[in-house]
Amino acid sequence: MERWTRASTAACAALASLGGCATFAPAPKRAPNIVLFLVDDLGWQDLSLPLAAQPTEFNARYRTPNVERLAREGLVFTQAYAAAPVCTPTRAAIHTGIAPARSHITYWTLRKDSDTSAPWPGLAPPAWDVNGVQPEDTTLAELLQAHGYRTIHVGKAHFGALGTPGSDPRTLGFDVNVGGHGAGAPASFYGTENFAAAARNGDPVWNVPGLERWHGQDIYLDEALAIEAVEQVDAALASGQPFFLNFAPYSVHTPIQPNPRYVANYAHLDPREAAYASMVETMDAALGAVLEELDRRGIADETLVVFTSDNGGLSAHSRGGEPHVHNAPLRSGKGSAYEGGTRVPLVVRGPGIAAAQRTSEPVISTDLFPTLLAAAGLEVPHDGVARDGLDLAPILDGGSLESGRVLVWHQPHFWGARGPGIWPYSAVRVGDWKLIYWHAQHYFELYDLAHDVGESLNFATSDGARVRELARILAEQLRSMGAQMSLDATTGEPIPWPDAVDPHQAFRFFDF
């Protein structure tokens, strides 16, 4: 992918003052526009674009032609992961470049100084950062803003808790905020209900702010946000600045509410699933509106577009049919340590990226921070703050990342919904092997993802040497990040690090 740096521009300027470089140096290239399209709760299977080895029944269910178009014109990652199985930690990780284990933003936030963790027998959550991202944190938008970008947030924010400065994206480096605040779901998707809770006597904390122009209108929330996003792109172009558009639809988060414009396309499905599928199609149409505007304005070739999700697809509740299977062949869904909780779609299109390519390299959402900075000609700040993630430029250029990469997840919280793997945990992936450490039980599960993407065959009892090695790597990673382990509810002390647990100890597993 084409790159340019401030360092090379500065060097040329210095040489020009001495009579060199000025005649022969090419003019600095304009920084690319950046569109980050971050969907809420969109699962690995919630697309007509296949990400498994073969198309599945779920792929056949959905209509996402604009995601398919993006895939034809760019690079599809089939093994991309969210930094966490719930929303705020991943959103914070993308925009700060810091993994949840390191930032201590390990769970979703809502109100100032309020812990949203559900109780789990025998455990208590650590003293995590319940207020989320705040102005003192260096963010992607802040760095791009300082580099001359017009920074635009549209849709769900959920960076910092309500009642804190971080609930407003404008305190985090965005010039513009449309519809974003500290709550992670809308009260309603309907303009006829003012996107508010009054129609159902609900809690107004979920009311979507700043969209009064659409109140009372027959419009779906993400349709309104798409119009707002296009208008903001036009305003940015009028200003002459490159732009960073962080478009975060509220779809497909609960409440599951059908879009009347699309729901008839799914009359053959369970009504709840038909409603969900109409939300997926609405999200795709919003993406299409942005892509069409880039085409109309003649800037598609100078715009980097990233499409992804903040966690795996919802499957434990609010869906139709059997629970915990909506991400199959992946196991479980949102909130879970299993692949259904963290594996997400990722498609990237932009300058220098070859069309119609696929990669199976494991990547994680913290990689977007250095990748988007590098695309803009910026380096990760050297400010004494440790950050995670790798610049994906080698993959975007058709190559690969370093071998033996380690991916880590850490959620010392119980989400509240019951289901497989929805328990406090830490996990590591090295190569094709994934080790999960369950906090309450001090128990391991080990899976070979190359041959068992559904995590059905646990090797932990038969491959103790590999468990010990991966437990050592996981523990070293967690300690180096300053991770906070779950607390023993009786003693108040942190549970043991993974490398302090005997993988062969007696164990009685249970589901809560």
> CA 477, CA 406: separation in Å to the nearest integer?
9
Q: What residue ranges do the domains of the chain occupy?
A: 30-396, 406-500
Of 183, 184, 204, residue with least CA distance to 193: 204
10 pLDDT above the threshold of 80? no
- For residues 433-444, give the mean pLDDT: 96
**Which residues, at least 6 apart from 452, have a Cβ–Cβ distance to it below 8 Å?**
none
Contact status, residue 47 vs residue 283, Cβ threshold 8 Å: no
Indicate left, alpha or beta for 419 from its phi (over 0: left) and psi (-120 to 50: alpha). Answer: left
21 pLDDT above the threshold of 80? no
Please list, residue by residue across 381-418, b when 16 or more beta carbons sit within 10 angstroms of its beta carbon and e when fewer do.
Answer: eeeeeebbbbbbbebbeeeebeeeeebbbbbbbbbebe
pLDDT of residue 9: 37
Mean pLDDT over each residue of the chain, to the nearest integer: 93
Q: What tens digit of pLDDT does each residue of 285-335 get?
A: 999 999 999 999 999 999 999 999 999 999 999 999 999 999 999 999 999
- For residues 111-115, give the mean pLDDT: 98
29 pLDDT above the threshold of 70? no
Share of residues in the chain with pLDDT > 90 (%): 91
pLDDT of residue 350: 98
- For residues 353-377, give the mean pLDDT: 98
> CA 348, CA 340: separation in Å to the nearest integer?
21
Indicate left, alpha or beta for 113 from its phi (over 0: left) and psi (-120 to 50: alpha). Answer: left
CA dihedral 490, 131, 206, 263 (to 10 degrees): -90
3-state secondary structure labels for all residues of 331-348:
CCCCCCCCHHHHEEEEEE
Q: What tens digit of pLDDT does each residue of 202-216 get?
A: 899 999 999 999 999
pLDDT band at 403 (very low <50, low <70, confident <90, very high): confident
**Which residues, at least 6 apart from 214, have a Cβ–Cβ distance to it below 8 Å?**
191, 195, 224
Per the structure block, which two tokens stand in for 449?
Answer: 């993802």
- For residues 64-81, give the mean pLDDT: 98
Q: What tens digit of pLDDT does each residue of 171-204 get?
A: 999 999 999 999 999 999 999 999 999 987 889 9
pLDDT of residue 503: 81
Number of Cβ within a 10 Å radius of residue 320: 16
6 pLDDT above the threshold of 90? no
> CA 419, CA 395: separation in Å to the nearest integer?
35
Length of the chain: 512
CATH class of 406-500: alpha beta
pLDDT band at 505 (very low <50, low <70, confident <90, very high): low
**Which residues, at least 6 apart from 22, have a Cβ–Cβ distance to it below 8 Å?**
12, 15, 16
pLDDT band at 417 (very low <50, low <70, confident <90, very high): very high
- Give the single-character DSSP code of 117: P
- For residues 374-396, give the mean pLDDT: 97
Share of residues in the chain with pLDDT > 70 (%): 93
Q: What CATH number does the domain located at 30-396 have?
A: 3.40.720.10
- For residues 51-80, give the mean pLDDT: 97
